[in-house]
Amino acid sequence: MRTDPQAATDALFRILADPTRRRILDLLAERGPLNVSDLAAEFPDLVTSGISKHLMGLRAAGLVHANREGRQQIYALEVGAMRDTLTPWLKKYDRFWNQALERLRDLAENERRQK
Amino acid sequence: MRTDPQAATDALFRILADPTRRRILDLLAERGPLNVSDLAAEFPDLVTSGISKHLMGLRAAGLVHANREGRQQIYALEVGAMRDTLTPWLKKYDRFWNQALERLRDLAENERRQK
DNA sequence: AAAATATCTTACTGAACAGTAAAGTGTTAG
DNA sequence: CTAACACTTTACTGTTCAGTAAGATATTTT
């Protein structure tokens, strides 16, 4: 039962849309696995339960995973899902990644369009 | 006056969060420059002014540009802004792109953490 | 000049969602 | 055993935002 790639893309971009969630991913990338309190300490304007909720979202999207250690939960980055979804998505645009080629293509298209 | 990279990232992910806008980008990538009516025809459930509003958003984010041609506006992909913002963002995670390396790192971190 | 066409703007509405407070669960320390 | 700690869940609230309808603007056709 593998999930629809369209649905996976929707879910991924939806979860990446929030700056706090992206910052959490950044922190886990920079500093390695962290518990909730350490993460929450990086967001003085937010309450801990808010961070927890974001972590639940990231977990549901498969972007992080947690290991209980005593009374703490150690969250770590899990980039597999991101890679699997983002790679094919980016591939659709890599033909355009080179701006020069894109401009040539646009010129050709406009040419053609003018009968 | 170049814009804050953090703000640029926020704006990009915000704009990419909507499935309709991503689909518009896809259509422009697959079929080349298109006018508003042709794009709108791909979204039978949406009204034309809705598509126009999405196009304004994409334009403001620098992801598309338009050339007037008579009474039509020909929209085309403009991936420069996306590349400039997405490349450094992805770079933060490419160290983790390889899942095997990630697992090793996690093991090491958990080891260290257990004093 | 008026009508038709193509697109954009504005004002509105409903739904999704981030953030909070408070209560709930699980684990360890006294 | 119970108090403290670490985190999660639930219910609520305000804001943001996609989608719509109606009107505005610009261009072309008749």
Q: What is the pLDDT of residues A71-96, one digit of tens each?
A: 999 999 999 999 999 999 999 998 88
> What integer pLDDT is reported at residue B65 of this predicted model?
97
Confidence band, pLDDT 50/70/90 cuts, at residue B115: very low
User: Which residues from chain B sit within 8 angstroms of residue A79, using beta carbons?
Assistant: 93, 96-97, 99, 102
Longest dimension (CA), chain A: 72
In this prediction, residue B110 carries a pLDDT of: 60
User: pLDDT grade, residue B111 (50/70/90)?
Assistant: low
pLDDT tens digit sequence for B35-75? 999 999 999 999 999 999 999 999 999 999 999 999 999 99
Q: Is B67 helix (H, G, I), strand (E, B) or coil?
A: strand
Measured N-to-C along each axis, helices B5-16 and B19-31 cross at an angle, to the nearest 10 degrees, of 90
| More confident position, A58 or A102 | A58
Nearest to B96 among A17, A29, A69 (CB): A29
Least confident of A4-8, A39-43, A96-100, A101-105: A101-105
For residue B109, which amino acid is it?
A: E
Residue B97: pLDDT band with limits 50, 70, 90: confident
Give the CA-to-C1' distance from B11 to D23 in angstroms. Answer: 30
Which residues in chain B have their CB less than 8 angstroms from residue A99's CB?
79-80, 83
What does the pLDDT look like over B13-23, one tens digit per residue?
A: 999 999 999 99
CA distance B10 to A33: 24
pLDDT at A15: 98
Distances (CA, A) of A31 to A27, A61, B19: 6, 21, 32
Task: State whether the Cα torsion A36-A39-A41-A45 is positive or negative.
Answer: negative
Specify burial of residue B6 (Cβ count, 10 A radius: 0-12, 13-18, 19+): exposed
Sheet order of strands, A72-77 included: A34-35, A72-77, A64-69
Cβ within 8 Å, pair B109-A32: yes
Contacts of B4 (CB under 8 A, 6+ apart): none
Which residues in 70-89 of chain B line strand D, with CB less than 7 A from it?
70-71
- Between A18 and B114, the more confident residue is A18
Spatial distance between the Cα atoms of B115 and B21, rounded to a whole number of angstroms: 49
